[in-house]
Structure 1
Amino acid sequence: MLLAALGPLAGKLNDAEKNDASTWLPGNAESTKVLDLAKTFESSDTVPAVVVYERPSGITQADRAKAAGDVRAFTGVHGVSGQVLGPVPARDGKALQVIVPIVPGDGGWATIGQVVDDVRKIARSGAAGLEVHVTGPAGIAADSGEAFKGIDGTLLYSTVAVVVVILLLTYRSPTLWLLPVLSAGVALSSAQAVVYLLAKYAGLTVNAQSAGILTVLVFGAGTDYALLLVARYREELRRHEDRHEAMAIALHRAGPAIIASAATVAVGMLCLLAAEMNSTKGLGPVSASGIVVGLLAMITLLPALLVIVGRWVFWPVRPKYGSPEPAERGLWARVGRGVARRPRAVWLVTAVVLGAMSLGLADLKAEGLANKDSFIGKPDSVVGEEVLARHFPAGVGQPVVVIAKASAAEQVRDAFARTPGIAAVTPPVVKGGYAYLQGTLDDAPDSKAAKATVDRVRAAVHRVPGADAVVGGGTAINLDAQRAARHDSNLIIPLVLVVVFVILALLLRALVAPLVLIATVVLSFTAALGFSALVFDHLFGFAGADASFPLFVFVFLVALGIDYNIFLMTRVREEAERLGSRRGALVGLAATGNVITSAGVVLAGTFAVLATLPVVAFAEIGFAVAFGVLLDTIIVRSVLVTALNLDLGRWMWWPSRLCGKRDLPVADDLQPKEPALVS
Structure 2
Amino acid sequence: MESNPLQRFGQFVGGKKGRWAFLAIWLVLLIVLTLALPQINSIENYAGDELPAEMMSMEANQLMKEQFSSDAGVPLLIVWYKEAGLDIADIATIQAMYAKLEDTPLEGQATLPPFATLPPQALLGAVSENGRSLVTPIFFTTDTNTKSFKQSLEKISSYTEGNPYEKSLDDASLIARFSGPVAISVDAASLFASADIKLMIATVILILAILLVIYRSPILALVPIIVVGIAFLVISPLLGYMADNGWIHKDAQAVSIMIVLLFGAGTDYCLFLITKYRDKLLVEDNKFSAIAEAVRDSAGAIFMSGFTVVIGLATLALADFGAFQRFAVPFSFGVLVTMVAVLTLLPPLLSLLGRYAFWPFIPRPVKEGEARRESHVKMRKVGAFVTNKPWLVVVITSVLLLVLAFTSTKIQYNYDLLSSFPKDIQSREGFALIEDNFTAGELAPVKVIVDTKGKALDIEEQLSNLPYVAAVKEPRVGAQNSDIVLYEVDLNKNPYSNEAMADVEQMKKDVATFVDSEFWLGGETSEQLDTKAVQWHDEKLIQPVMIAIIFVVLLLYLRAIVTAVQLMATVLVSFFAALGLGWLIIHYGLGHEAMASAIPLYSFVFIIALGNDYNIFMISDIWKNRHRGLGYRQAVTEGVASTGAVITSAGLILAGTFAVLASLPIQLLVQFGIVTAVGVLLDTFIVRPLLVPALITLFGKWSYWPGRLWKKEIN
Q: TM-score, normalised by structure 2?
A: 0.85
Task: Call closer, same or farther: CA 1:152–1:386 in 2, change over 3 Å.
Answer: closer
User: Does residue 354 of structure 1 match 2:405?
Assistant: no
Paired residue for 1:501, among 529, 551, 559?
A: 551
User: Does residue 603 of structure 1 match 2:688?
Assistant: no
**Match of 2:80?**
53
Deviation at 1:389, TM superposition (A): 3.0
User: d(CA) in 2 for partners of 1:634 and 1:284?
Assistant: 29
Deviations 1:148-200 (A, max 9, x none): 23222222222222222222222210101222111101211222233333334
User: Does residue 110 of structure 1 match 2:183?
Assistant: no
Q: Once structures 1 and 2 are overlaid, which stretch shifts more, 184-193 or 198-207?
A: 198-207
User: d(CA) in 2 for partners of 1:365 and 1:77?
Assistant: 43
User: d(CA) in 2 for partners of 1:603 and 1:223?
Assistant: 8
Task: Call closer, same or farther: CA 1:44–1:506 in 2, change over 3 Å.
Answer: farther
User: Does residue 258 of structure 1 match 2:302?
Assistant: yes
Secondary structure, aligned partner of 2:640: helix
User: d(CA) in 1 for partners of 2:677 and 2:376?
Assistant: 29
**Match of 1:377?**
423
AA paired with 1:654? Answer: W
Task: State whether residues 49 and 116 of structure 1, in contact with CA within 8 Å, keep that contact through their aligned partners in structure 2.
Answer: no
Deviation at 1:489, TM superposition (A): 1.4
User: d(CA) in 2 for partners of 1:409 and 1:158?
Assistant: 64
Paired residue for 1:645, among 688, 692, 696?
A: 696
Task: State whether residues 183 and 302 of structure 1, in contact with CA within 8 Å, keep that contact through their aligned partners in structure 2.
Answer: yes
Secondary structure, aligned partner of 1:330: helix
Deviation at 1:540, TM superposition (A): 0.5
AA paired with 1:591? Answer: S
5 Å-filtered alignment, 1:92-111, equals 92-103=129-140, 108-111=145-148
**Match of 1:546?**
596
Task: State whether residues 451 and 485 of structure 2, in contact with CA within 8 Å, keep that contact through their aligned partners in structure 1.
Answer: no
**Match of 1:195?**
239
Task: Call closer, same or farther: CA 1:328–1:224 in 2, change over 3 Å.
Answer: closer
Deviation at 1:83, TM superposition (A): 1.6
Deviation at 1:254, TM superposition (A): 0.9
Paired residue for 1:90, among 119, 127, 130?
A: 127
Paired residue for 2:530, among 475, 480, 484?
A: 480
User: Does residue 389 of structure 1 match 2:435?
Assistant: yes
Task: Please give the root-mean-square deviation of Cα atoms over the aligned residues, in Å.
Answer: 3.0
User: d(CA) in 1 for partners of 2:399 and 2:463?
Assistant: 55
**Match of 1:31?**
57
Task: State whether residues 403 and 434 of structure 1, in contact with CA within 8 Å, keep that contact through their aligned partners in structure 2.
Answer: no
AA paired with 2:74? Answer: V
AA paired with 1:651? Answer: W
User: d(CA) in 1 for partners of 2:489 and 2:452?
Assistant: 21
User: d(CA) in 2 for partners of 1:45 and 1:295?
Assistant: 47
Deviations 1:85-134 (A, max 9, x none): 65353352422414231538987123434433554562754785344333
User: d(CA) in 2 for partners of 1:69 and 1:195?
Assistant: 45
**Match of 1:667?**
none
User: d(CA) in 2 for partners of 1:408 and 1:309?
Assistant: 82
5 Å-filtered alignment, 1:220-619, equals 220-322=264-366, 324-326=370-372, 328-369=375-416, 371=418, 373-396=419-442, 398-401=444-447, 408=454, 411=457, 420=466, 421=469, 423-431=472-480, 435=484, 437=486, 439-442=488-491, 443-456=493-506, 458-459=508-509, 468-578=518-628, 579-619=630-670
Deviation at 1:226, TM superposition (A): 0.8
User: d(CA) in 2 for partners of 1:500 and 1:45?
Assistant: 45
User: d(CA) in 2 for partners of 1:276 and 1:484?
Assistant: 7
Q: Once structures 1 and 2 are overlaid, which stretch shifts more, 457-466 or 341-350?
A: 457-466
Secondary structure, aligned partner of 2:472: strand
Task: Call closer, same or farther: CA 1:85–1:445 in 2, change over 3 Å.
Answer: farther
User: d(CA) in 2 for partners of 1:159 and 1:107?
Assistant: 34
AA paired with 1:48? Answer: P
Task: State whether residues 369 and 545 of structure 1, in contact with CA within 8 Å, keep that contact through their aligned partners in structure 2.
Answer: no
The alignment-based identity, stated in percent, is 31
Deviation at 1:608, TM superposition (A): 1.4
Secondary structure, aligned partner of 2:79: strand
Deviation at 1:249, TM superposition (A): 1.7
User: d(CA) in 2 for partners of 1:84 and 1:283?
Assistant: 38
Deviation at 1:415, TM superposition (A): 8.9
Task: State whether residues 597 and 633 of structure 1, in contact with CA within 8 Å, keep that contact through their aligned partners in structure 2.
Answer: yes
Secondary structure, aligned partner of 1:431: coil
**Match of 1:676?**
none
Task: Call closer, same or farther: CA 1:356–1:405 in 2, change over 3 Å.
Answer: closer
User: d(CA) in 2 for partners of 1:405 and 1:8?
Assistant: 55
Task: State whether residues 423 and 429 of structure 2, in contact with CA within 8 Å, keep that contact through their aligned partners in structure 1.
Answer: no
User: Does residue 211 of structure 1 match 2:255?
Assistant: yes
User: d(CA) in 1 for partners of 2:500 and 2:153?
Assistant: 26
User: d(CA) in 2 for partners of 1:477 and 1:612?
Assistant: 30
Q: Once structures 1 and 2 are overlaid, which stretch shifts more, 417-426 or 633-642?
A: 417-426
**Match of 1:673?**
none
Task: State whether residues 74 and 84 of structure 1, in contact with CA within 8 Å, keep that contact through their aligned partners in structure 2.
Answer: no
**Match of 1:180?**
224
AA paired with 2:77? Answer: V
Number of residue-to-residue matches in the alignment: 662
Task: State whether residues 84 and 172 of structure 2, in contact with CA within 8 Å, keep that contact through their aligned partners in structure 1.
Answer: no
Q: TM-score, normalised by structure 1?
A: 0.89
Deviation at 1:364, TM superposition (A): 1.1
User: d(CA) in 2 for partners of 1:389 and 1:515?
Assistant: 51
User: d(CA) in 1 for partners of 2:575 and 2:687?
Assistant: 10
User: d(CA) in 2 for partners of 1:123 and 1:663?
Assistant: 85
Secondary structure, aligned partner of 2:76: strand
Task: State whether residues 363 and 534 of structure 1, in contact with CA within 8 Å, keep that contact through their aligned partners in structure 2.
Answer: no
Deviation at 1:305, TM superposition (A): 1.3
**Match of 1:153?**
197
Task: State whether residues 310 and 331 of structure 2, in contact with CA within 8 Å, keep that contact through their aligned partners in structure 1.
Answer: yes
Deviation at 1:456, TM superposition (A): 4.9
**Match of 1:634?**
685
**Match of 1:67?**
94
User: d(CA) in 1 for partners of 2:686 and 2:65?
Assistant: 54
Q: Once structures 1 and 2 are overlaid, which stretch shifts more, 639-648 or 540-549?
A: 639-648
Task: Call closer, same or farther: CA 1:627–1:542 in 2, change over 3 Å.
Answer: same
Task: Call closer, same or farther: CA 1:146–1:77 in 2, change over 3 Å.
Answer: farther
User: d(CA) in 1 for partners of 2:455 and 2:526?
Assistant: 20
Secondary structure, aligned partner of 2:138: strand
Task: State whether residues 239 and 330 of structure 2, in contact with CA within 8 Å, keep that contact through their aligned partners in structure 1.
Answer: yes
Q: Which runs of 5+ in 1 are unaligned?
A: 665-679
Task: Call closer, same or farther: CA 1:365–1:17 in 2, change over 3 Å.
Answer: farther
Secondary structure, aligned partner of 2:473: strand
AA paired with 1:32? Answer: M
Deviations 1:225-245 (A, max 9, x none): 111111111112222222222
User: d(CA) in 2 for partners of 1:409 and 1:144?
Assistant: 45
5 Å-filtered alignment, 1:118-137, equals 118-119=155-156, 122=160, 125=163, 128-137=172-181
**Match of 2:16?**
none
